[in-house]
């Protein structure tokens, strides 16, 4: 009963609970800003740091929380909840977690308010700091930016967990007994993130070649957002002040403040299913195993369907439509020969990103994109050296001259690197998650657009024309071959007769060696050789004595 | 000599075991993350004693740390001195694990203790009240794909461990009482400038692949407790 508690203690306790609630909200919201938090220890007490923890107070958040609490305290039946949700750039939103500060009836009369309760509330806050980094929404929030933002909503009253979907998990952060009740802090978080991918993808049309952050800094090379070092972006929220609070009538209405952080250093998220899932699906003895990128949107539809089926996957697909090179090194143990492709796509799309000068295949993610892997059993004697991995999109290497020529062809023809529709033949034979990206059957190279690319639609330079006179006639325009309309930024140049893109494509690689160029005469030369061989042999036989004498002279 | 020996000596010492299976390059970060998570909860700000036996407490800052080899972020106290001490111990353990061979299993322990002053000629007794044992299994992975899986899996495992740690701590089992000024050094480590963790020590034990245990530090520990 309250009468057992001294007035001073009661006042203290109320204050503790109030500030604990405010600090809880701060910790949760700050943990979802998408940045790393760093505060300093101070040996001398400052008097303003509640619970002896350096937790900054974002004014808007405090304002919001105070408004919601409206002078009340969390109590029995009145929980304070912070709901974290995700909102995509298309307007879809999804609840990710709900943090709950509850007080139940179980009282601990003997506990000392000013020391023990305060101390334990401090420990509970530390636990909250630790746990907020551990739930799935943390990783999502670190990657927010263009595709989605993380929003929070504070409400008072009964906990609502309906929006978390099926199979949500709860984690209890901790409890602190007090003379008026037991303070419990817990979190319920969504585990099924796959819903979003289906819904989101049904709406949007395939977006080929659109880079949303065309002029933004490229993401950092590593997969993890290691040491992003972004400044705490509290000032950015000042702009939201006006609109965030203007529309709120009732204190219990939804009021969302969106924290759009500055463009992330990477927009990459773990798109494809974890490699363990992939490796299960891939038959190890099948020589043709697919690339595993999460590339284009047309075939990516099939990715999404595959992906969404797997409910246990807690990966965010949201970045897909702008993320044109997602890669997983699909290296299988024991595969002897590894060749490489697929930096090609990035060349066509990402050039022009920086300073208007075309750069060769900087894969979207910086340096790591070299691990897309293709196995090519049909090229005899191809070397499986590590030096085959290269960033600049050189085509397949092989030892036979005709293959080399085709390689060089492939080099100059970067367009059409995306294969749009899955090869029906391939999908029928293989049950693979990313069968859409599997390389074509290499047995029929005639149909392979990489080897015999279709005609370039515009600005076909004489160089290219001569190279492809043989190959491209037959194949014509492939149905499942998509032309990427490449418009690099700042590429208009009236001085040159051709645009920068074409210029670059043409002169990107050294010119063909004369001896290797595929020329009609060389083919007929072979024929001539065959025809003239008997005559030549006859001549040699006639002159055999002369030759013998020559040989004797040498010996 | 196992840690249960110490448990027989002391009544209230509780012991928690956390087990992780990691790749060699993840050993350091995984252990650091767990130790720092524990120390975050077992440290306070610096005490400033005033007259009449009251004291005020300094402020503890926190820092988010992203792991390089694991998909994981953890929170640690903002104190460079403490960082150095912990890192040194973990690196020593990691090196010992490396030397023992790649199949090595090792266990690193963080023990919180109180000092009990004894009369001369006996030196002070160290009575542990909480021991965290982190058992580490090191695996070798064959290729990049497995490493990638390992990154994620170990990250998830560490998330679970953090939740385990938080659960144990929030049971609010025995912790030493807040000491008076004269007793503070028996409970807290007051040597650090910015923060004040409970008195603790880190020891480790390596089991090589043959199953024999190499416990040089255990001997040191026993020497301390028995004050020989």
Residues B105-146: tens digit of each pLDDT: 899 999 999 998 887 777 888 899 999 999 999 988 889 999
Sequence-distant (≥ 6) Cβ neighbours of residue A402 within 8 angstroms:
none
Please give the angle made by the CA atoms of B106, B109 and B111, to the nearest 5 degrees.
170
Q: What is the per-residue pLDDT for A502? A: 81
Mutation target for A interface from B37, B44, B59: give the one with most A CBs within 10 A: B59
Write out chain A residues lying below 8 Å of B48, CB-based: 44-45
Residue with tokens 């002040």: A241
pLDDT(A361) > 50? no
Exposed e or buried b for every residue in A289-302, given b needs 16+ CB within 10 A? bbbbbbbbbbbbeb
Q: Which of A5-9, A270-274, A378-382, A502-506 has the lowest mean pLDDT?
A: A270-274
User: Could A42 and B159 be called an inter-chain contact, meaning their C-beta atoms sit closer than 8 Å?
Assistant: no
Mutation target for A interface from B53, B60, B165: give the one with most A CBs within 10 A: B60
Closest CB from B44, B145, B163 relative to A331: B145
Rounded to an integer, what distance in angstroms lies between the CA atom of residue A224 and that of residue A86? 20
User: Could A224 and B172 be called an inter-chain contact, meaning their C-beta atoms sit closer than 8 Å?
Assistant: no
User: Could A274 and B165 be called an inter-chain contact, meaning their C-beta atoms sit closer than 8 Å?
Assistant: no
Distance from CA of A45 to the nearest CA of B (A): 4
User: Could B59 and A131 be called an inter-chain contact, meaning their C-beta atoms sit closer than 8 Å?
Assistant: no
Asked if A80 and A160 count as a contact pair (C-beta separation under 8 A), the reply is no
Cis omega (within 30 of 0) on the bond before A147?
no
Q: Which tens digit of pLDDT belongs to each residue from B173-188? A: 888 988 888 889 999 9
Q: What is the per-residue pLDDT for B116? A: 86
Higher pLDDT, A547 or A471: A547
Rounded to an integer, what distance in angstroms lies between the CA atom of residue A414 and that of residue A348? 7
Q: If you average pLDDT over residues A166-192, what whole number do you get? A: 91
Q: Of A84-88, A221-225, A255-259, B72-76, where does the model show the most confidence?
A: B72-76
Closest CB from A38, A52, A138 relative to B60: A52
Alpha-carbon distance values, A31 to A99, A175, A272 (Å): 12, 21, 26
Distance from CA of B17 to the nearest CA of A (A): 19
Closest CB from B56, B194, B195 relative to A45: B56
pLDDT(A393) > 70? no
Residue with tokens 């299988």: A332
Mutation target for B interface from A30, A37, A43: give the one with most B CBs within 10 A: A43
Mutation target for A interface from B37, B46, B48, B75: give the one with most A CBs within 10 A: B75
Mutation target for A interface from B71, B170, B171: give the one with most A CBs within 10 A: B170
pLDDT(A514) > 60? yes
User: Could B64 and A173 be called an inter-chain contact, meaning their C-beta atoms sit closer than 8 Å?
Assistant: no
Asked if B171 and A174 count as a contact pair (C-beta separation under 8 A), the reply is no
**Closest alpha carbon to A327 in A361, A281, A302, A292:** A292
Counting Cα atoms < 13 Å in the Cβ hemisphere of A520 gives: 4
Q: Of A82-96, A135-149, A157-171, B58-72, where does the model show the most confidence?
A: B58-72
Q: If you average pLDDT over residues B177-202, what whole number do you get? A: 92
pLDDT(B70) > 80? yes
As a three-state string, the secondary structure of A70-81 is CCCCCECCEEEE
Rounded to an integer, what distance in angstroms lies between the CA atom of residue A148 and that of residue A414? 32
Q: Of A256-265, A294-303, A484-493, A536-545, where does the model show the most confidence?
A: A536-545
User: Could A40 and B74 be called an inter-chain contact, meaning their C-beta atoms sit closer than 8 Å?
Assistant: no
pLDDT(A200) > 60? no
- Going by their DSSP bridges, the two strands A181-189 and B73-77 should be labelled as unpaired
The pair of three-digit structure tokens given for residue A83, joined into one six-digit string: 């709901």
pLDDT band at residue A173 under the 50/70/90 scheme: very high
The pair of three-digit structure tokens given for residue A197, joined into one six-digit string: 């991918």
Q: What is the per-residue pLDDT for A429? A: 45
pLDDT band at residue A110 under the 50/70/90 scheme: confident
Distance from CA of A498 to the nearest CA of B (A): 44
Q: What is the per-residue pLDDT for A266? A: 32
Nearest CA in chain B to A292: B145
Nearest CA in chain B to A177: B172
Closest CB from A39, A122, A226 relative to B61: A39
pLDDT(A353) > 80? no
Residue with tokens 């060769």: A360
User: Could B40 and A130 be called an inter-chain contact, meaning their C-beta atoms sit closer than 8 Å?
Assistant: yes
Q: What is the per-residue pLDDT for A123? A: 95
User: Could B63 and A39 be called an inter-chain contact, meaning their C-beta atoms sit closer than 8 Å?
Assistant: yes
Q: At what angle do helices A59-69 and A7-31 cross, to 10 degrees?
A: 130
pLDDT(A9) > 90? no
Rounded to an integer, what distance in angstroms lies between the CA atom of residue A528 and that of residue A96? 74
Write out chain B residues lying below 8 Å of A44, CB-based: 46, 48, 58
Q: Which of A83-87, A256-260, A356-360, A525-529 has the lowest mean pLDDT?
A: A256-260
For residue B28, give the 3-state DSSP assignment.
Answer: helix
Higher pLDDT, B30 or B173: B30
pTM for this structure?
Answer: 0.55
Distance from CA of B23 to the nearest CA of A (A): 16
Q: Which of A426-440, A456-470, B18-32, B109-123 has the lowest mean pLDDT?
A: A456-470
Q: What is the per-residue pLDDT for A326? A: 35
Higher pLDDT, A481 or A153: A153
Q: What is the per-residue pLDDT for A144? A: 87
Q: Which of A30-34, A249-253, B54-58 has the lowest mean pLDDT?
A: A249-253
pLDDT(A15) > 60? yes
Rounded to an integer, what distance in angstroms lies between the CA atom of residue A419 and that of residue A341? 13
Closest CB from B68, B78, B165 relative to A39: B78
Distance from CA of A390 to the nearest CA of B (A): 17
Distance from CA of B5 to the nearest CA of A (A): 30
Nearest CA in chain B to A39: B61
Nearest CA in chain A to B39: A126
Asked if B2 and B216 count as a contact pair (C-beta separation under 8 A), the reply is no
Q: What is the per-residue pLDDT for A424? A: 43
Q: What is the per-residue pLDDT for B211? A: 53
User: Could B45 and A131 be called an inter-chain contact, meaning their C-beta atoms sit closer than 8 Å?
Assistant: no
Rounded to an integer, what distance in angstroms lies between the CA atom of residue A348 and that of residue A330? 23
pLDDT(B160) > 70? yes
Write out chain A residues lying below 8 Å of B143, CB-based: 331, 333
User: Could A126 and B40 be called an inter-chain contact, meaning their C-beta atoms sit closer than 8 Å?
Assistant: yes
- Going by their DSSP bridges, the two strands B125-139 and B14-23 should be labelled as parallel
Distance from CA of B194 to the nearest CA of A (A): 5
User: Could B162 and A332 be called an inter-chain contact, meaning their C-beta atoms sit closer than 8 Å?
Assistant: no
Q: Which of A23-27, A49-53, A361-365 has the lowest mean pLDDT?
A: A361-365
pLDDT band at residue B222 under the 50/70/90 scheme: low
Q: If you average pLDDT over residues A91-104, what whole number do you get? A: 91
Nearest CA in chain A to B173: A120
User: Could B58 and A45 be called an inter-chain contact, meaning their C-beta atoms sit closer than 8 Å?
Assistant: yes
Alpha-carbon dihedral of residues A21, A23, A25, A28, nearest 10 degrees?
A: -130
User: Could B145 and A279 be called an inter-chain contact, meaning their C-beta atoms sit closer than 8 Å?
Assistant: yes
pLDDT band at residue A172 under the 50/70/90 scheme: very high
Q: If you average pLDDT over residues A461-484, what whole number do you get? A: 49
Closest CB from A53, A124, A274 relative to B60: A53
Percent of chain A's residues with pLDDT above 70:
42
pLDDT(A290) > 80? no
User: Could B143 and A172 be called an inter-chain contact, meaning their C-beta atoms sit closer than 8 Å?
Assistant: no
pLDDT band at residue B161 under the 50/70/90 scheme: very high
Distance from CA of B169 to the nearest CA of A (A): 8
Write out chain A residues lying below 8 Å of B159, CB-based: 134-135
Closest CB from A40, A177, A279 relative to B61: A40
**Closest alpha carbon to A434 in A271, A286, A294:** A294
User: Could A133 and B64 be called an inter-chain contact, meaning their C-beta atoms sit closer than 8 Å?
Assistant: yes
Closest CB from B48, B59, B73 relative to A53: B59
Rounded to an integer, what distance in angstroms lies between the CA atom of residue A455 and that of residue B7? 80
Q: Kindly report the average pLDDT of chain A as a whole number.
A: 62
Asked if A346 and A479 count as a contact pair (C-beta separation under 8 A), the reply is no
Alpha-carbon distance values, A282 to A98, A146, A285, B145 (Å): 38, 33, 9, 13
Nearest CA in chain B to A175: B170
User: Could B145 and A44 be called an inter-chain contact, meaning their C-beta atoms sit closer than 8 Å?
Assistant: no
Rounded to an integer, what distance in angstroms lies between the CA atom of residue A116 and that of residue A114? 6
User: Could A133 and B46 be called an inter-chain contact, meaning their C-beta atoms sit closer than 8 Å?
Assistant: no
How far is C-alpha A454 from the geometric centre of its chain's CA atoms?
31
Centre a 10 Å sphere on the Cβ of residue A226 and count the other Cβ atoms it contains. Answer: 16
Rounded to an integer, what distance in angstroms lies between the CA atom of residue B7 and that of residue A102? 37
Closest CB from B48, B79, B163 relative to A45: B48
pLDDT(A136) > 60? yes
Q: What is the per-residue pLDDT for B42? A: 96
């Amino acid at each position: 009963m309250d009468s057992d508690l001294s007035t001073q203690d009661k006042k203290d306790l109320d204050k503790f609970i109030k500030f604990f609630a405010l600090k809880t909200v701060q910790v949760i919201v700050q943990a979802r800003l998408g940045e790393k938090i760093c505060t300093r220890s101070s040996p001398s007490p400052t008097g303003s740091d509640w619970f002896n923890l350096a937790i900054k107070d974002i004014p808007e958040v405090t304002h919001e929380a105070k408004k919601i609490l409206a002078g009340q305290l969390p109590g029995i039946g009145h929980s304070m909840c912070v709901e974290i949700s995700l909102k995509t750039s298309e307007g879809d939103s999804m609840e990710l977690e709900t943090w709950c500060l509850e007080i139940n009836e179980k009282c601990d009369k003997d506990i000392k308010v000013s020391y023990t309760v305060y101390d334990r509330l401090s420990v509970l806050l530390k636990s909250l700091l630790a746990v907020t980094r551990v739930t799935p929404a943390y990783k999502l929030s670190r990657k927010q930016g263009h595709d989605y933002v993380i929003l929070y909503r504070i409400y008072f009253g009964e906990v609502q967990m309906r929006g978390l979907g099926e199979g949500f998990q709860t984690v209890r952060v901790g409890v602190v007994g007090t003379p008026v009740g037991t303070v419990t802090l817990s979190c319920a978080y969504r585990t099924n993130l796959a819903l979003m991918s289906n819904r989101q993808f049904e709406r949007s049309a395939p977006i080929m070649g659109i880079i949303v952050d065309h002029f933004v800094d490229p993401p950092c090379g590593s997969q993890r957002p290691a040491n992003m070092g972004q400044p705490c972006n509290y000032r950015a929220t000042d702009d939201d002040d006006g609109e965030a609070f203007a529309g709120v009538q009732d204190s219990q209405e939804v009021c969302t403040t969106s924290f759009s952080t500055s463009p992330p250093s990477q927009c990459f998220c773990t798109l494809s299913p974890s490699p363990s899932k992939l490796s299960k699906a891939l038959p190890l003895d099948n020589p043709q195993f697919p690339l595993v990128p999460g590339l284009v949107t047309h075939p990516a539809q099939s990715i999404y369907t595959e992906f969404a089926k797997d409910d246990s996957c807690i990966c965010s697909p949201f970045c897909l439509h702008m993320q044109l090179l997602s890669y997983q090194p699909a290296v299988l143990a024991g595969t002897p020969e590894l060749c490489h492709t697929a930096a090609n796509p990035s060349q066509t799309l990402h050039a022009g990103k920086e300073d208007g000068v075309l750069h060769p295949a900087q894969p979207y993610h910086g340096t790591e994109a070299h691990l897309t892997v293709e196995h090519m059993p049909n090229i005899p004697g191809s070397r499986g050296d590590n030096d085959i991995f290269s960033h600049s999109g050189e085509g397949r290497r092989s030892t036979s001259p005709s293959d080399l020529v085709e390689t060089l062809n492939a080099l100059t023809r970067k367009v059409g690197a995306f294969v749009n529709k899955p090869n029906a033949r391939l999908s029928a034979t293989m049950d693979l998650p990313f069968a859409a990206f599997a390389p074509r059957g290499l047995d029929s190279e005639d149909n392979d657009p990489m080897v015999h690319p279709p005609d370039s639609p515009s600005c076909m330079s004489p160089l290219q024309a001569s190279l492809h006179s043989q190959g491209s006639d037959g194949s014509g325009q492939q149905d499942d071959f998509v032309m990427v309309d490449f418009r690099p930024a700042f590429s208009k140049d009236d001085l040159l007769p051709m645009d920068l893109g074409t210029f670059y494509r043409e002169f990107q690689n050294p010119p063909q060696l004369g001896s290797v160029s595929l020329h009609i005469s060389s083919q007929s030369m072979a024929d001539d050789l065959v025809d003239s061989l008997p005559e030549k042999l006859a001549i040699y036989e006639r002159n055999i004595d002369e030759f013998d004498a020559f040989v004797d002279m040498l010996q | 000599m196992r840690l249960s020996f110490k448990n027989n000596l002391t009544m209230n010492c509780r012991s928690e075991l956390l087990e992780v299976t990691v790749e060699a390059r993840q050993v350091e970060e995984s252990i650091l993350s767990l130790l720092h998570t524990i120390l975050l909860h077992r440290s306070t700000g610096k005490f400033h004693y005033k007259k009449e036996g009251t004291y005020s407490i300094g402020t503890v800052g926190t820092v988010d740390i992203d792991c390089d080899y694991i998909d994981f972020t953890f929170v640690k106290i903002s104190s460079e001195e403490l960082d150095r001490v912990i890192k040194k111990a973990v690196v020593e353990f990691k090196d010992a694990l490396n030397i023992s061979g790649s199949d090595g299993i090792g266990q690193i322990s963080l023990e919180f203790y109180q000092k009990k002053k004894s009369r001369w000629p006996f030196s002070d007794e160290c009575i542990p009240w909480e021991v965290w044992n982190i058992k580490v299994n090191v695996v070798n992975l064959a290729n990049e794909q497995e490493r990638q899986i390992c990154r994620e899996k170990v990250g998830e495992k560490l998330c679970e461990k953090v939740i385990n740690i938080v659960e144990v701590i929030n049971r609010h089992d025995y912790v030493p009482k807040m000491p008076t000024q004269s007793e503070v050094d028996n409970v807290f480590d007051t040597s650090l400038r910015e923060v004040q963790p409970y008195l603790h020590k880190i020891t480790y034990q390596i089991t090589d692949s043959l199953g024999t245990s190499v416990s040089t530090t255990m001997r040191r520990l026993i020497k301390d407790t028995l004050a020989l």
